[in-house]
Protein backbone atom coordinates (compact mmCIF):
# COMPACT_ATOMS: atom_id res chain seq x y z
CA UNK A 1 0.00 0.00 0.00
CA UNK A 2 1.34 3.41 -0.95
CA UNK A 3 1.32 6.02 1.78
CA UNK A 4 -0.76 9.01 0.61
CA UNK A 5 0.96 12.36 0.25
CA UNK A 6 -0.09 14.56 3.17
CA UNK A 7 -2.08 17.69 2.47
CA UNK A 8 0.05 19.81 4.77
CA UNK A 9 3.63 19.46 3.58
CA UNK A 10 6.58 21.42 2.28
CA UNK A 11 7.53 24.81 3.67
CA UNK A 12 4.85 26.23 5.98
CA UNK A 13 6.27 29.33 7.72
CA UNK A 14 4.67 30.39 11.00
CA UNK A 15 3.86 33.96 10.04
CA UNK A 16 4.81 36.70 12.47
CA UNK A 17 2.07 39.19 13.33
CA UNK A 18 3.35 42.70 12.52
CA UNK A 19 2.23 45.29 15.06
CA UNK A 20 2.00 49.05 15.15
CA UNK A 21 3.79 50.99 17.87
CA UNK A 22 0.44 51.08 19.68
CA UNK A 23 0.28 47.29 19.73
CA UNK A 24 -2.41 46.81 17.11
CA UNK A 25 -2.18 44.43 14.16
CA UNK A 26 -0.46 46.16 11.23
CA UNK A 27 -2.73 44.86 8.48
CA UNK A 28 -0.80 46.37 5.56
CA UNK A 29 2.49 44.90 6.78
CA UNK A 30 0.85 41.51 7.31
CA UNK A 31 -0.50 41.59 3.77
CA UNK A 32 3.01 42.34 2.46
CA UNK A 33 4.43 39.50 4.55
CA UNK A 34 1.96 36.99 3.12
CA UNK A 35 2.75 38.18 -0.39
CA UNK A 36 6.48 37.85 0.40
CA UNK A 37 5.95 34.25 1.49
CA UNK A 38 3.80 33.37 -1.51
CA UNK A 39 6.25 34.95 -3.94
CA UNK A 40 8.97 32.74 -2.47
CA UNK A 41 6.94 29.62 -3.28
CA UNK A 42 5.95 28.40 0.18
CA UNK A 43 3.49 25.52 0.43
CA UNK A 44 1.35 26.82 3.28
CA UNK A 45 1.17 29.38 6.08
CA UNK A 46 0.80 28.76 9.81
CA UNK A 47 -1.13 31.65 11.34
CA UNK A 48 -1.20 32.43 15.05
CA UNK A 49 1.62 30.21 16.19
CA UNK A 50 4.42 31.05 18.60
CA UNK A 51 6.13 33.25 16.02
CA UNK A 52 2.76 34.94 15.50
CA UNK A 53 2.67 35.92 19.19
CA UNK A 54 -0.75 34.33 19.47
CA UNK A 55 -0.75 34.06 23.28
CA UNK A 56 -0.09 37.80 23.53
CA UNK A 57 -2.97 38.82 21.26
CA UNK A 58 -6.61 39.42 22.12
CA UNK A 59 -9.28 37.39 20.35
CA UNK A 60 -10.11 40.48 18.29
CA UNK A 61 -6.49 40.77 17.18
CA UNK A 62 -6.26 37.06 16.46
CA UNK A 63 -9.37 37.22 14.31
CA UNK A 64 -8.03 40.19 12.37
CA UNK A 65 -4.64 38.56 11.80
CA UNK A 66 -6.13 35.27 10.63
CA UNK A 67 -8.71 36.98 8.43
CA UNK A 68 -5.94 39.04 6.81
CA UNK A 69 -3.74 36.02 6.17
CA UNK A 70 -6.57 33.93 4.71
CA UNK A 71 -7.80 36.77 2.52
CA UNK A 72 -4.33 37.65 1.23
CA UNK A 73 -3.39 34.02 0.59
CA UNK A 74 -6.57 33.75 -1.47
CA UNK A 75 -6.53 29.96 -1.51
CA UNK A 76 -3.12 29.80 -3.16
CA UNK A 77 -1.83 27.69 -0.27
CA UNK A 78 -3.53 26.17 2.79
CA UNK A 79 -3.60 28.23 5.97
CA UNK A 80 -3.43 26.38 9.27
CA UNK A 81 -4.44 28.30 12.38
CA UNK A 82 -3.11 28.01 15.89
CA UNK A 83 -5.84 27.41 18.48
CA UNK A 84 -3.58 27.71 21.48
CA UNK A 85 -5.52 27.88 24.72
CA UNK A 86 -5.00 26.26 28.12
CA UNK A 87 -8.16 24.13 28.21
CA UNK A 88 -10.32 22.08 25.89
CA UNK A 89 -13.44 24.23 25.72
CA UNK A 90 -11.38 27.36 25.07
CA UNK A 91 -9.57 25.55 22.25
CA UNK A 92 -12.89 24.52 20.71
CA UNK A 93 -14.11 28.12 20.79
CA UNK A 94 -10.93 29.27 19.08
CA UNK A 95 -11.24 26.45 16.53
CA UNK A 96 -14.81 27.49 15.72
CA UNK A 97 -13.65 31.07 15.14
CA UNK A 98 -10.78 29.88 12.95
CA UNK A 99 -13.16 27.77 10.91
CA UNK A 100 -15.48 30.72 10.34
CA UNK A 101 -12.52 32.84 9.24
CA UNK A 102 -11.49 30.37 6.55
CA UNK A 103 -8.66 28.31 8.01
CA UNK A 104 -7.88 25.00 6.29
CA UNK A 105 -6.53 23.23 9.36
CA UNK A 106 -6.15 23.70 13.10
CA UNK A 107 -3.08 23.42 15.32
CA UNK A 108 -3.54 22.57 18.99
CA UNK A 109 -1.15 22.05 21.91
CA UNK A 110 -1.62 19.92 24.99
CA UNK A 111 -3.49 21.72 27.80
CA UNK A 112 -1.32 23.99 29.90
CA UNK A 113 -1.37 25.84 33.21
CA UNK A 114 -3.73 23.14 34.50
CA UNK A 115 -1.80 20.10 35.72
CA UNK A 116 -2.57 17.23 33.35
CA UNK A 117 -1.19 13.81 32.50
CA UNK A 118 -1.22 11.64 29.39
CA UNK A 119 -4.81 10.49 29.85
CA UNK A 120 -6.13 14.05 30.07
CA UNK A 121 -4.02 15.05 27.08
CA UNK A 122 -5.46 12.23 25.00
CA UNK A 123 -9.03 13.13 25.99
CA UNK A 124 -8.23 16.74 25.08
CA UNK A 125 -7.22 15.94 21.51
CA UNK A 126 -10.08 13.50 20.99
CA UNK A 127 -12.62 16.00 22.30
CA UNK A 128 -11.32 18.81 20.09
CA UNK A 129 -11.29 16.56 17.02
CA UNK A 130 -14.86 15.46 17.72
CA UNK A 131 -16.02 19.07 17.99
CA UNK A 132 -14.51 20.40 14.75
CA UNK A 133 -14.65 19.51 11.08
CA UNK A 134 -11.24 20.77 9.96
CA UNK A 135 -8.10 18.61 10.07
CA UNK A 136 -6.36 18.76 13.45
CA UNK A 137 -2.59 18.90 13.93
CA UNK A 138 -0.94 18.45 17.31
CA UNK A 139 1.63 21.07 18.28
CA UNK A 140 4.36 19.39 20.32
CA UNK A 141 6.09 22.24 22.17
CA UNK A 142 6.98 21.08 25.69
CA UNK A 143 9.13 24.13 26.42
CA UNK A 144 5.90 26.16 26.49
CA UNK A 145 3.23 23.73 27.70
CA UNK A 146 5.45 21.50 29.89
CA UNK A 147 4.13 18.25 28.41
CA UNK A 148 5.90 16.15 25.79
CA UNK A 149 3.56 14.31 23.43
CA UNK A 150 4.70 10.70 23.38
CA UNK A 151 5.30 8.67 20.25
CA UNK A 152 2.74 6.10 21.42
CA UNK A 153 0.04 8.73 21.95
CA UNK A 154 0.62 10.46 18.61
CA UNK A 155 0.73 7.14 16.76
CA UNK A 156 -2.52 6.02 18.36
CA UNK A 157 -4.25 9.30 17.53
CA UNK A 158 -2.93 9.10 13.97
CA UNK A 159 -4.15 5.53 13.51
CA UNK A 160 -7.59 6.46 14.85
CA UNK A 161 -7.87 9.41 12.49
CA UNK A 162 -7.97 11.95 15.31
CA UNK A 163 -4.90 13.80 14.09
CA UNK A 164 -3.95 14.83 10.57
CA UNK A 165 -0.37 15.59 11.59
CA UNK A 166 2.13 16.91 14.08
CA UNK A 167 3.99 20.20 14.18
CA UNK A 168 7.04 19.18 16.18
CA UNK A 169 8.89 21.89 18.08
CA UNK A 170 10.09 19.61 20.83
CA UNK A 171 13.71 19.50 19.71
CA UNK A 172 13.56 15.74 20.36
CA UNK A 173 14.83 14.49 17.04
CA UNK A 174 15.03 10.89 18.22
CA UNK A 175 11.31 10.93 19.02
CA UNK A 176 10.60 12.58 15.64
CA UNK A 177 12.30 9.74 13.82
CA UNK A 178 10.60 7.12 15.96
CA UNK A 179 7.27 8.77 15.21
CA UNK A 180 7.93 8.69 11.47
CA UNK A 181 8.60 4.97 11.68
CA UNK A 182 5.65 4.27 13.98
CA UNK A 183 3.14 6.09 11.78
CA UNK A 184 4.43 4.28 8.70
CA UNK A 185 4.05 0.97 10.52
CA UNK A 186 0.71 1.50 12.28
CA UNK A 187 -1.14 4.08 10.17
CA UNK A 188 0.24 3.73 6.64
CA UNK A 189 -3.11 4.54 5.05
CA UNK A 190 -3.45 7.87 6.83
CA UNK A 191 -2.80 11.29 5.29
CA UNK A 192 -0.48 12.31 8.12
CA UNK A 193 1.86 15.32 8.13
CA UNK A 194 5.14 15.30 10.01
CA UNK A 195 6.31 18.91 10.15
CA UNK A 196 9.46 19.94 11.96
CA UNK A 197 9.75 23.32 13.62
CA UNK A 198 13.47 22.75 14.21
CA UNK A 199 14.68 25.13 11.53
CA UNK A 200 18.39 24.35 11.74
CA UNK A 201 18.02 20.60 11.05
CA UNK A 202 15.31 20.51 8.40
CA UNK A 203 17.52 18.49 6.05
CA UNK A 204 18.05 15.81 8.68
CA UNK A 205 14.35 15.69 9.59
CA UNK A 206 13.37 15.35 5.93
CA UNK A 207 15.85 12.50 5.56
CA UNK A 208 14.25 10.93 8.65
CA UNK A 209 10.82 10.93 7.02
CA UNK A 210 9.44 14.42 7.61
CA UNK A 211 6.79 15.94 5.37
CA UNK A 212 8.07 19.48 5.65
CA UNK A 213 9.02 22.30 7.96
CA UNK A 214 7.46 25.16 9.91
CA UNK A 215 10.52 27.38 10.35
CA UNK A 216 10.23 30.70 12.17
CA UNK A 217 13.26 31.81 10.21
CA UNK A 218 11.21 31.07 7.09
CA UNK A 219 9.59 34.48 7.58
CA UNK A 220 12.97 36.05 6.88
CA UNK A 221 14.26 33.79 4.11
CA UNK A 222 11.33 31.79 2.74
CA UNK A 223 13.06 31.31 -0.61
CA UNK A 224 16.00 29.66 1.15
CA UNK A 225 13.72 27.15 2.85
CA UNK A 226 11.93 26.46 -0.43
CA UNK A 227 15.28 25.71 -2.09
CA UNK A 228 16.18 23.49 0.86
CA UNK A 229 12.91 21.55 0.66
CA UNK A 230 13.18 21.07 -3.08
CA UNK A 231 16.72 19.77 -2.74
CA UNK A 232 15.55 17.29 -0.10
CA UNK A 233 12.66 16.12 -2.28
CA UNK A 234 15.07 15.66 -5.19
CA UNK A 235 17.44 13.64 -3.02
CA UNK A 236 20.19 16.18 -3.58
CA UNK A 237 21.53 16.02 -0.04
CA UNK A 238 24.72 17.90 -0.91
CA UNK A 239 22.70 20.91 -2.06
CA UNK A 240 20.36 20.50 0.90
CA UNK A 241 23.29 20.51 3.34
CA UNK A 242 24.75 23.61 1.70
CA UNK A 243 21.45 25.53 1.94
CA UNK A 244 20.81 24.30 5.48
CA UNK A 245 24.27 25.47 6.56
CA UNK A 246 23.59 28.93 5.13
CA UNK A 247 20.25 29.11 6.94
CA UNK A 248 21.81 27.87 10.16
CA UNK A 249 24.32 30.71 10.02
CA UNK A 250 21.47 33.15 9.32
CA UNK A 251 19.69 31.79 12.41
CA UNK A 252 22.38 33.55 14.43
CA UNK A 253 20.13 36.61 14.26
CA UNK A 254 18.39 35.21 17.34
CA UNK A 255 21.61 35.90 19.25
CA UNK A 256 21.48 39.60 18.39
CA UNK A 257 19.42 40.63 21.42
CA UNK A 258 21.25 41.26 24.69
CA UNK A 259 20.55 38.18 26.86
CA UNK A 260 20.87 40.34 29.97
CA UNK A 261 17.58 42.05 29.11
CA UNK A 262 15.77 39.55 26.88
CA UNK A 263 14.74 35.92 26.74
CA UNK A 264 13.46 33.45 24.15
CA UNK A 265 10.46 35.23 22.65
CA UNK A 266 12.12 38.63 22.43
CA UNK A 267 15.24 37.11 20.91
CA UNK A 268 13.38 34.95 18.37
CA UNK A 269 10.32 36.91 17.28
CA UNK A 270 12.12 40.18 17.91
CA UNK A 271 14.95 39.16 15.59
CA UNK A 272 12.59 37.91 12.86
CA UNK A 273 10.58 41.14 12.92
CA UNK A 274 13.73 43.26 12.94
CA UNK A 275 15.08 41.37 9.93
CA UNK A 276 11.79 41.73 8.06
CA UNK A 277 11.78 45.45 8.81
CA UNK A 278 15.33 45.79 7.47
CA UNK A 279 14.26 43.88 4.35
CA UNK A 280 11.38 46.31 3.85
CA UNK A 281 8.69 43.65 4.21
CA UNK A 282 7.07 45.04 7.35
CA UNK A 283 7.00 48.60 8.66
CA UNK A 284 8.59 48.08 12.07
CA UNK A 285 9.81 45.62 14.66
CA UNK A 286 7.25 46.25 17.41
CA UNK A 287 6.45 43.25 19.61
CA UNK A 288 3.85 42.52 22.27
CA UNK A 289 4.34 43.43 25.90
CA UNK A 290 6.12 42.28 27.98
CA UNK A 291 8.55 41.65 25.09
CA UNK A 292 10.67 44.52 23.81
CA UNK A 293 11.81 45.49 20.32
CA UNK A 294 15.48 45.18 19.43
CA UNK A 295 17.44 48.41 19.83
CA UNK A 296 19.79 50.08 17.34
CA UNK A 297 22.88 48.09 18.32
CA UNK A 298 20.98 44.80 18.21
CA UNK A 299 19.44 45.77 14.88
CA UNK A 300 22.94 46.34 13.55
CA UNK A 301 23.89 42.79 14.49
CA UNK A 302 20.83 41.46 12.65
CA UNK A 303 21.80 43.54 9.61
CA UNK A 304 25.27 41.99 9.61
CA UNK A 305 23.84 38.47 9.48
CA UNK A 306 21.46 39.42 6.68
CA UNK A 307 24.40 40.76 4.70
CA UNK A 308 26.47 37.63 5.32
CA UNK A 309 23.52 35.52 4.13
CA UNK A 310 23.25 37.53 0.92
CA UNK A 311 19.83 38.98 1.74
CA UNK A 312 21.00 42.61 1.94
Q: Which residues are catalytic?
A: 139, 167
In order of 192, 223, 311, the CA distances from 274 in angstroms are: 34, 18, 13
Task: Give yes or no for a contact between 48 and 62, defined as CB atoms under 8 angstroms apart.
Answer: yes
C-alpha to C-alpha distance for 233 and 76, rounded to whole angstroms? 21
Q: Angle of helix 173-186 relative to helix 151-159, nearest 10 degrees? A: 30
C-alpha to C-alpha distance for 114 and 117, rounded to whole angstroms? 10
Sheet with 105-108, strands from edge to edge, namely 10-11, 212-213, 193-196, 165-168, 136-140, 105-108, 79-82, 45-47
Task: Give yes or no for a contact between 172 and 148, defined as CB atoms under 8 angstroms apart.
Answer: yes
In order of 216, 251, 272, the CA distances from 219 in angstroms are: 6, 12, 7
Write the burial class of residue 60 (CB in 10 Å: 0-12 exposed, 13-18 middle, 19+ buried).
exposed
H-helix or E-strand spanning residue 212: strand 212-213
Can you tell me whether residue 4 is helix, strand or coil?
coil
DSSP annotation of 3? P
Q: What are phi and psi of 117, to 5 degrees?
A: -120, -170
C-alpha to C-alpha distance for 292 and 302, rounded to whole angstroms? 15
Amino acid sequence: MTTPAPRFAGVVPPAVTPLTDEGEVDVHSLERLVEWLLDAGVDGIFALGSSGETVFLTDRQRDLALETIVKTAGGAVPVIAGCIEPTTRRVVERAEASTRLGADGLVVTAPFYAIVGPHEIERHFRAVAAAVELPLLAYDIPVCVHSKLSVDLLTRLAADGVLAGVKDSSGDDVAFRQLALAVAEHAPERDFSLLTGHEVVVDAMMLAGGSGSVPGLGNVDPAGYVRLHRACMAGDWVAARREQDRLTRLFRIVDAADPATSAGATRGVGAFKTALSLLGVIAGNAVSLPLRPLDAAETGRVRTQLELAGLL
